[in-house]
C-alpha cells in the first residue's frame, strides 16, 4: 500500500504514456485530506487501479485517483513541489534503458512493496 505522503519516481509504462515522459513524480496523500484549489480535473480510467486526472483546459496530468484512501498527485503541479522530494524509484523494471539516474535513492523493481534492485 502506498505510504502516506510518500513521494516516488514512477517508471511504470502507464505513467510514461500518461505523462509523456520517461518518469513521473507522484506524492500520495489521504484522499480525505486533499482537494483541488481551483476547478476539478477531468479523468479517465487508465487501468483497473484507478483514474488518471488531468486539466481539461491544458491537458496537464495532475493526479491518479485510486478511488481508495489515498490519491496520487503529480508533484511538479503542486504550489510547493520542493516540499515533496521523491524518496525512491518504483517500477524500475519498466525504466527506459536510456534513462539513467544516480541519485542514490532506493530502486524498487515493481511497486512500493516490492524488492529493491
Ligand atoms: Zn506509474
Taken in order of first residue, the domains within the chain and their CATH numbers are 7-94 (3.90.1590.10)
Over residues 69-97, mean pLDDT:
95
Q: How far is the CA of 43 from the centre of ligand 1 (A)?
A: 16
Q: How far is the CA of 18 from the centre of ligand 1 (A)?
A: 9
Query: For position 37, what pLDDT does the model report?
Result: 87
Q: How far is the CA of 78 from the centre of ligand 1 (A)?
A: 18
Give me the helices (H) in the chain, please: 13-19
Residue 4: pLDDT band (50, 70, 90) is very low
CB 11 within 8 A of CB 86: no
Cα→Cα distances 94→83, 98, 107, 115, Å: 27, 12, 12, 14
- Mean pLDDT, the chain, as a whole number? 90
Over residues 88-110, mean pLDDT:
94
What are the tens digits of pLDDT across the range 38-79?
A: 899 999 998 888 999 999 999 999 999 999 999 999 999 999
Residues with CB under 5 A from ligand 1 (ion): 10, 12, 15
- Measured CA to CA, the distance from residue 59 to residue 107 in angstroms comes to 29
Query: For position 6, what pLDDT does the model report?
Result: 85
Quick one: how far is CA 35 from the chain centroid? 16
Q: How far is the CA of 4 from the centre of ligand 1 (A)?
A: 17
Amino acid at each position: 500500500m502506498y505510504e502516506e505522503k510518500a513521494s516516488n519516481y514512477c517508471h511504470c509504462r502507464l505513467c510514461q504514456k500518461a505523462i509523456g515522459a520517461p518518469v513521473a513524480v507522484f506524492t500520495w496523500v489521504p484522499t480525505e485530506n486533499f482537494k483541488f484549489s481551483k476547478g476539478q480535473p477531468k479523468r479517465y480510467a487508465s487501468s483497473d487501479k484507478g483514474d488518471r486526472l488531468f486539466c481539461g483546459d491544458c491537458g496537464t496530468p495532475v493526479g491518479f485517483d485510486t478511488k481508495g484512501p489515498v490519491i496520487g498527485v503529480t508533484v511538479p503541479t503542486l504550489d510547493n513541489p520542493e516540499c515533496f522530494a521523491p524518496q525512491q524509484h518504483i517500477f524500475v523494471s519498466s525504466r527506459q534503458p536510456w534513462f539513467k539516474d544516480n541519485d542514490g535513492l532506493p530502486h524498487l523493481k515493481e511497486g512500493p512493496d516490492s524488492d529493491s534492485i
